[in-house]
Amino acid sequence: MFIELEELIVDNNLLGNDLLLPRLPNLHTLTLNKNQLTDIEALLEHLADVTPSLKYLSLLGNEACPNQLVSPDKDEDDYQRYRYFVLHKLPQLKFLDTRKVTIKEVMEAQARGAFMKVVKPKSEAPPNEAGSESHPLSYTPLPRGSRDAKNHRGIFAKCRYVYYGKHSEGNRFIRNDQL
């Protein structure tokens, strides 16, 4: 119904991988910031199909976009690989996220963009079976029943020791007039 739509901003709308846009032949600007998009390949294939005129795209704040500000475990190399992959799928883009697309990036995306998809390794271990963990700890101060997050039992008790601060090594040389 909106075939003349040129700009669409749907930031912070809890959109997920089931996002389906209608065919928007004149759409040139699309921002999908701060949503719940995780499958970058499916999203880019859908956008390539329904938005042939897309020039400006922003996906910041989604798990699909490995940005250091949102994902502390990601670095600049992860983000650059993401840019190459996006530019491989959508070569007509002029601006991606916060930066203008350079000629060097377009050439790299054409040459190697198909291989730049960031893939997460799947865990080989079966999902938490009775007591099995992917990285078992040799020691834990918690009782066995408290280790499983699904079977947590909280404990409330009264402490027998009351700390008054007289025996603290840090306070031994500080007088009351210095506080």
- Burial (CB count <10 Å: 0-12, 13-18, 19+), residue 120: exposed
- List per-residue pLDDT tens for the chain, 179 residues long: 778 899 999 999 888 889 899 999 999 999 999 888 888 888 999 999 999 999 999 998 888 888 766 667 777 788 888 889 999 989 999 999 888 999 998 888 888 877 767 665 554 545 554 444 555 556 655 556 555 555 555 565 666 666 565 655 555 566 677 76
pLDDT of residue 131: 47
pLDDT of residue 64: 83
Q: What is the CA radius of gyration of the chain?
A: 26
pLDDT of residue 94: 94
H or E element at residue 47: helix 40-50
pTM above 0.75, yes or no: no
Contact indicator for 3, 26 with CB cutoff of 8 Å: yes
Max Cα distance, the chain (Å): 77
Amino acid at 128: N
Phi first, then psi, for residue 134 (nearest 5°) are -70, -35
Question: What is the end-to-end Cα distance of the chain in Å, rounded?
Answer: 71
Domains of the chain with bracketed CATH: 7-115 (3.80.10.10)
Amino acid at 90: L
pLDDT of residue 157: 64
Task: Please list the helix, strand and coil fractions of the chain in percent, rounded to the nearest 5, in that order.
Answer: 25, 5, 65
